[in-house]
Amino acid sequence: MAGPLTGMKVIEMVGLGPAPFCAMLLADMGAEVIRVQRPGQELGERARFDVLGRGRRAIALDLRRPEGVETLLQLTEGADALIEGFRPGVMERLGLGSGECLQRNPKLVYGRMTGWGQTGPLAQAAGHDINYIALTGALNAIGRPGEKPVVPHNYIGDFGGGGMLLAFGVLCALLEAQRSGLGQVVDAAMTDGTALLSAMMYGFRAAGRLSDERGVSLLDGGAHFYDTYECADGRHIALGAIEPQFYAEFLQRCGIDDPQFQGQMDPRQWPALKEKLSALFRQRNRQQWCELLEGTDACFAPVLDWAEAAEHPHNRERGTYLELDGVLQPAPAPRFSRTPAATPTTASGDSQSAAVLRDWGLPQVRIDALKSAGVI
């Protein structure tokens, strides 16, 4: 085991999306994370495709049985944190709510991941990333003028505002528990997290630098110097020359001496300048533009697809991606100078209930009884 979180013990109630992402982040950094799943949830050979499930063992536990609930409560006694991503009230109905778990282990950090939060008028409603980012203004801000909002995969709600904020919250609570000796509940809502990701935008908006209209502001593709452009071969590049010195370098390297480009920060000029840059970038293919601009202070990059990203020289040298059992995936991040993360292992296809329970301190006689009863 390696990584800065070595020694931390976490219970993960198996779910979808943001909670497993949080658990993956913790496991990548060395925490021992045990996935608690229902019997029959084993993935078998398909486990290698479960990138979010990498780096941890699984236990199949029947939580409909009192013995299963009691077993999980026993596991919480030796855990630092528990992570769950169900609707509010589900864990309580199982007899595994924060009250029951913290009674067994007062120092436990109980991380809860939902879309709408544990409270509020929408707390019990179903939803997905697209709904959560819609409610917080983020979705409305993404797209072209006069067109409908663009769906940005599920990066913002599920992973940025959800799993990442849950991991931050859990680690904050663990640090506080070291001082106080007491655990607590972390209520991580994707609506709250997405709103938090928009902090800078609200400052821009208050200062009159961000419009409620899509695609007309500095960082949403409205500016000619901060957008994507199509090249002669149909591929695209990304330009982000905001600062005057970077913008000047871009103009110089491209041989642009049109005086209209001197009005960089005049939004009235942006549409016309975008047309001129569109025509310019269509004169060469993407590779030719890379040869001219990549690696300079022009703030330029090619727009790569999934496979191309892993093969780019910069990403290859840094080891940004790795391959496990033939599945390409991102490597653990960030990097640590003294306690680097180890290469993760593929997700567990089958449960290892007996071994996990034994390693977590349950006596063999108890494990044998659970196995005989069909609880594990």
Which residues are known to be catalytic? 128, 158
Joined tokens for residue 30:
């060395």
Is 240:298 a contact under the CB 8 Å cutoff? no
| DSSP conformation letters of 70-99 | HHHHHHHTT-SEEEE-SPTTHHHHTT-SHH
Separation CA 162–CA 128 (nearest Å): 11
Separation CA 304–CA 291 (nearest Å): 15
Among 135, 130, 187, 127, which residue's Cα sits nearest to residue 156? 130
Is 63:96 a contact under the CB 8 Å cutoff? yes
The DSSP symbol for 346 reads P
What values do phi and psi take at 166, rounded to 5? -65, -45
Joined tokens for residue 271:
């549409």
Separation CA 32–CA 6 (nearest Å): 7
| DSSP conformation letters of 276-335 | HHHHHHTTS-HHHHHHHHTTSTT-EEE---HHHHHHSHHHHHHT-EEEETTEEEEPP-S-
